[in-house]
Amino acid sequence: MFQLFNRLRRDEEGQSLVIACVALLVLALGVMATVNIGRAIHQRMYLQNTADASAYSMAAMEARAFNYYAFTNRTQIVHYVSAMVFQSYLSFLSFIQALMSEVLAFLKTIDQCKDGSLLARAICTALKALPFVGEIIEAVTELIDAVTQAVTAVMEVFDTFMTALDEVVGRVIIPGLRFCNWLLWASAKLVQEDIVTDIADGYPEVLTKNDDQVTGSALLVGVLNETLFDDAHMKAAGGGIAGKGQLPDHTAAAVGDTTPLTRAKRTMGELTDATRYNNFVTSRPMDSFLPQGLKQFFDFASSIGLNPLEKFGQTKFVSKQMGTNKHYNYIHSTGTGSSVLAEGNVLGADDLYRFGIGPNKVLGVKNPLISGEPDLNSWSWHGRQASASHLDLAKVSVWAQQNGGLHWHLMVNKDGADSTGIKSHHVLFLKVFYADINVDHDGNHQWDGLTPFMNFDAVNEPKKFWHQPSTFTFVQKSYDQYKKNSASDSNRLQATERKETTGVAGKGGPVEIDTTNNVATIPFMKKGALNVISRGMAYYHRPGNWEEPPNFFNPYWRAKLGPVWSGREQIPILGQFISAIPGGDTVAKKILVH
């Protein structure tokens, strides 16, 4: 027996079996650990991808909404410019009507033998007795009578046409265009409300499609997404989530006023004025409507100082409402006063003119051959240079504003004027006729200001990305949940069909991934569970130009994912979370820059 034990003790065979058993045990433990860790990492990746899909989808939705805003705002500008075109034609046709009356008044002033004063007619009678002179006077009188009858007949028809046109343009077309702008803003608000509904709860549709075992964003994260989305909208312009449209305020603001309401009004007003591409709207000088032959004649007459016709005109938004003052015009003023700023309180169109021969005054007396009323002898017209003085310019204009607006035009059968709008006064012994251009409170030109619109509320804070909104998703899954069989791997990462439709100017295609924004709410993290935070962002970029500030007038909004760390300045509670992590910012950055 002892010999057997001694032989077994000295025998070395079988050692590899023991080592193999130990190694196999270690290997089995390692495999088990690797599988468990790998599965946990695998689930963590799925969970992160699910959160990324939700955050990106919400950012893509916001980007599409902002691009829709851009198209509605551009369409609003088109409608405003269209209103300017209609008002320009109305003002210009009022000038044509007034010019016909000026021609009649000029002819009647020349024909003193028929319509002149008693002394003038006596002198004319004496001149008719002279040989050849009488025949010339009779021929001139007959020619003037024929022209007068023809122009008078045209003016009677033209007056009926202008009366109807004034009502249609002022009461139907321009208010209709403004109502269309209100509808565009209302449609943008509906899109905004739809986006808010989805981002408030972290877009659960995407979470469910990717992983049916996860718990969606907490309530506070949804409120944060709403807040960041709401911050991008200027409330004074009508973009607040909870508020209604605030525009308009008809008070002309001071030049240096930077309140949100003033900035919003000037943004839309100045863009509209800058979009008046049609020369007829931006400038209506005399040579814009004269045929080439007449243009050359008037140019020659002006070169020798006769200045038979001088005219200016344009249509634009201004801020200050026009009164009944005959000696001022806000459209052509280029001073620094607030009245000339394009706040959209007033839609003004004018076609100012001076008709006649010679200077305004001769030896201190008003020239009877110059258009205008006898007391209209001064104008405030800044920055304009012309061949003749701007005294006695007739103010044909249309002012769409509050209280029915104003229309300066020819007074036909009103205030003592005849059926051709002509009045008379005496200059020495001459009876001088002139077209009565005055203000008419016809109530046809009510303008309630700009309609609300979506305007981006930019702030000069790069750390907050100038209010370009981020979208956050907070997702968690307990260990019991991720052990269960959830959706198949092929269905987990469908992301969302919304992801593929975000692009430049509304075009489809993938969007590049970059950085921006935040969210981390530690109070909602569960112990014994996988917790994931993801951040997306809607950002503005015109291709080839990174310097253009974000706005809601160009459809260049896109979506991307970004590190949560980049948005830490936007969330106060994130700062508390970072300060609670051992190692401070360095460790926190490594955790959040995923």
Q: 3-class secondary structure for 183-204?
A: HHHHHHHHHHHHHHHHHCCCCH
Spacing of C-alpha 159 from chain mean position: 37
Q: Cis peptide before 131, with omega less than 30 degrees from 0?
A: no
Task: Give dist(CA 465, CA 56) in Å, integer.
Answer: 17
Q: Is the pLDDT of residue 512 over 50?
A: no
Burial code (b: 16+ CB inside 10 Å, e: under 16) for 32-47 equals: eeeeeeeeeeebeebb
Segment 497-513 shows an average pLDDT of 34
Segment 100-122 shows an average pLDDT of 80
Q: Which of 394-408, 509-523, 571-585 has the lowest mean pLDDT?
A: 509-523
Does 499 or 269 have the greater pLDDT score? 269
Q: Residue 556: what pLDDT?
A: 94
Residue linked to tokens 């939705």: 61
Question: What residues form DSSP beta bridges with 351?
Answer: 313
% the chain with pLDDT above 90: 20
Q: In what order do the strands lie in the sheet with 529-540?
A: 470-478, 529-540, 557-562
Segment 489-494 shows an average pLDDT of 41
Report field, pTM of the whole predicted structure over 0.95? no
- Render pLDDT for 417-448 as a digit per residue (tens, 0 to 9): 788 888 887 777 777 888 888 888 888 999 99
Backbone angles phi, psi at 311, to 5 degrees: -145, 145
Q: Classify residue 117 as exposed, middle or buried by CB count within 10 Å of its CB (0-12, 13-18, 19+).
A: middle
Confidence class for position 551, pLDDT limits 50, 70, 90:
very high
DSSP H or E run through 79:
helix 15-110
Q: Residue 223: what pLDDT?
A: 83
Q: Which of 187-196, 352-361, 431-440, 497-506 has the lowest mean pLDDT?
A: 497-506
Q: Is the pLDDT of residue 179 over 90?
A: yes
Q: Residue 504: what pLDDT?
A: 33
* CA atoms lying within 13 Å on the CB side of residue 92: 19
Confidence class for position 39, pLDDT limits 50, 70, 90:
confident
Phi-psi region of 56 (alpha: psi -120 to 50; beta: other; left: phi over 0): alpha
DSSP state of 451: P
Q: What would the two tokens of residue 111 be?
A: 């024909």
Segment 475-495 shows an average pLDDT of 54
Polymer length in residues for the chain: 594
Confidence class for position 513, pLDDT limits 50, 70, 90:
very low
Q: Is the pLDDT of residue 275 over 90?
A: no
Q: Residue 305: what pLDDT?
A: 62
Confidence class for position 493, pLDDT limits 50, 70, 90:
very low
Task: Give dist(CA 398, CA 439) in Å, integer.
Answer: 9
Task: Give dist(CA 134, CA 125) in Å, integer.
Answer: 9
Q: Which of 208-212, 278-282, 582-586 has the lowest mean pLDDT?
A: 582-586
Spacing of C-alpha 68 from chain mean position: 13
AA letter at 79: H
Q: Residue 491: what pLDDT?
A: 44
Q: Which of 47-61, 112-126, 228-242, 264-278 has the lowest mean pLDDT?
A: 112-126
Q: Residue 514: what pLDDT?
A: 36
Task: Give dist(CA 236, CA 244) in Å, integer.
Answer: 9
Confidence class for position 10, pLDDT limits 50, 70, 90:
low
Task: Give dist(CA 400, CA 91) in Å, integer.
Answer: 11
Task: Give dist(CA 117, CA 137) in Å, integer.
Answer: 17
Task: Give dist(CA 268, CA 457) in Å, integer.
Answer: 13
Q: Residue 13: what pLDDT?
A: 64
Task: Give dist(CA 534, CA 277) in Å, integer.
Answer: 46
Segment 335-353 shows an average pLDDT of 75
